[in-house]
Amino acid sequence: MYLAAALQMTSTVDRAHNHARAARLVAAAADAGAQLIGLPEMWPFMGPEAERLAHAETLEGPSLSLCRGLAEEHGVWILAGSIPEQSPDAAKVFNTSALVSPDGTLAGVYRKVHLFDVDIPDGARYRESAGVASGSETCVAATPLGKIGLSVCYDLRFPELYRALSAKGAELVTVPSAFTLYTGKDHWEVLLRARAIEDLCYVLAPAQFGRHSEKRVTYGHAMLVHPWGTVLACAADGEGMAIGPVDLGEVQRVRRELPALAHRRL
């Protein structure tokens, strides 16, 4: 058994500010005993989509370098939320999540597959595909903390991705997110609990919270969900964390008592 923490941030366009906040939150989670600590989607930069390209980094860039250093300093696993990663298309970035081990190496890298192209009834319009290239591969990292499957935000609405992760043995899936307030208030918890129940695994969901621009407001409620679908921890409004226990024995127990994964017929 170990503790996992889903961090909640209000990131801005100021990367230095975001890095400093992330470092403080990671330190607080490590001090609380967390061995797996997750940052939210696009934690180094939350601003106009048109400016995202200017903030693109490589996997050796400042944001993942910070996470490597923090992982080594605190002796923890860090889910580096997601960052705008440079892509082969000069006009687009990848929305990339990475899992960093305590020795600072990358244990897994995942590029967001499903892109958020939606007109929200509250007036906000999102065209993620205009500046983001879609990934094409799933990622499950084998770690001492269990097999960890990676995903990002809008992926949460596509259960077939999580079926693929569970088929690869995922015992915990991560969902770093920046869910809109409009959709999050009705769908966020329901979807997280559904993915846990369907795939009989833990779900660790770091989140962005609050107002990032005139029209962009995120829901927050970073969360840790048990394989039975119960919410083990949920962050309050503002920056902070949801921290709770992960017991891989619980994954095996639930899968043994309710062997739905073995009953699948395709």
Kindly indicate the confidence band of residue 265, based on its pLDDT and cuts at 50, 70 and 90.
Answer: confident
Q: What is the mean pLDDT of residues 247-258?
A: 97
Kindly indicate the confidence band of residue 86, based on its pLDDT and cuts at 50, 70 and 90.
Answer: very high
The whole-number pLDDT of residue 124 equals 72
Q: Is the pLDDT of residue 121 over 90?
A: no
The whole-number pLDDT of residue 123 equals 66
Q: Compare 186 and 49 and report the one with higher pLDDT.
A: 186
Active site residue 92: no
Q: What share of the chain is helix, strand, coil (3-state, %, to 5)?
A: 35, 30, 35
The whole-number pLDDT of residue 88 equals 95
Active site residue 112: yes
Q: What is the mean pLDDT of residues 43-60?
A: 90
Quick one: what percent of the chain has pLDDT higher than 70? 99
| Residue tagged 């699948």 (tokens) | 264
Q: Buried b vs exposed e over 65-83: b needs ≥16 C-beta within 10 Å? A: ebbbebbbebebbbbbbbb
| Residue tagged 């065209």 (tokens) | 127
Q: Is the pLDDT of residue 120 over 80?
A: no
Active site residue 67: no
The whole-number pLDDT of residue 31 equals 98
- Domain with 150, as residue range(s), is 2-263
The whole-angstrom separation of Cα 229 and Cα 10 is 27
In contact, 206 and 39? CB cutoff 8 Å: yes
CATH of the domain at 48: 3.60.110.10
Kindly indicate the confidence band of residue 48, based on its pLDDT and cuts at 50, 70 and 90.
Answer: confident
Q: What is the mean pLDDT of residues 19-25?
A: 98
Q: Which two tokens stand for residue 196?
A: 């846990």
The whole-number pLDDT of residue 246 equals 98
Q: What is the mean pLDDT of residues 28-52?
A: 93
- Alpha helices (H) along the chain: 15-31, 62-74, 159-167, 181-199, 248-257
The whole-number pLDDT of residue 60 equals 97
Amino acid, single-letter form, for residue 216: R
What mean pLDDT value characterizes the chain? Answer: 95
- State pLDDT tens for residues 206-237: 999 999 877 789 999 999 999 999 999 999 99
Catalytic residue among 153, 171, 201, 250: 153
- State pLDDT tens for residues 123-153: 678 888 889 999 999 999 999 999 999 999 9
The whole-number pLDDT of residue 2 equals 98
Catalytic residue among 57, 67, 92, 112: 112
Catalytic residue among 41, 128, 239, 250: 41
Look up the pTM and report it: 0.96
Question: Count of domains in the chain?
Answer: 1
| Residue tagged 């409004």 (tokens) | 237
